[in-house]
Amino acid sequence: MIRGFRGATTVKKNTEEQIVSSTKRLLEKMINENSISPVDVSHIWFTTTTDLDAAFPAKATRLIDDWQFVPVMCAQEIPVPGSLPLCIRVMLTAQTDVSQEEIHHVYLNDAISLRPDLELTKKKKNM
């Protein structure tokens, strides 16, 4: 089954170093928590809020061993008034045998506020 794995993070400043390093940390956590292999990945979409333009977050993918052939794309989020600033979102699409309920979506830093319900679901599974 092809499934989507979601993730998001925020940075403190609009710099290439922060965008790439924060995205790499997010991707690595998504990969590790879901046991994702690059050969099973169809593609990865990255979006950023309009206040982030110092680097392409997709660049982080190339810094992870064996992930250089995974297709990646970047886009800008819709600039909804009052939305979370300095935010990078990820949609990784991959082949997996796990159910939707077993997927570990990863939200880091201030992005945790985007989906606090997923944290509750994760805690219930661990009980």
- The annotated binding site for prephenate is made up of 6, 89, 107
Residue in 3, 25, 33, 77 annotated catalytic: 77
77 tagged catalytic: yes
- Concerning whether 115 is annotated as a catalytic residue, the answer is yes
Positions at the binding site: 6, 89, 107
Give the dihedral of Cα atoms 9, 53, 74, 110; nearest 10 deg.
10
- One of 28, 101, 115, 119 is an active-site residue; which one? 115
The first and second tokens of residue 114, run together, are: 């985007």
Residue 3 appears among annotated catalytic residues:
no
Instruction: Kindly state the DSSP code that residue 52 receives in the 8-state scheme.
Output: -
Spot the catalytic one: 16, 17, 62, 102. Answer: 62
Active site residue 89: yes
Catalytic residue among 6, 25, 28, 33: 6
The pair of structure tokens assigned to 2 is 């092809």
Measured between alpha carbons, how far is 98 from 32 in angstroms, rounded to an integer? 14
Q: What is the distance between the alpha carbons of residues 48 and 60, in angstroms, rounded to a whole number?
A: 14
Residues recognised as catalytic: 6, 62, 74, 77, 89, 107, 115
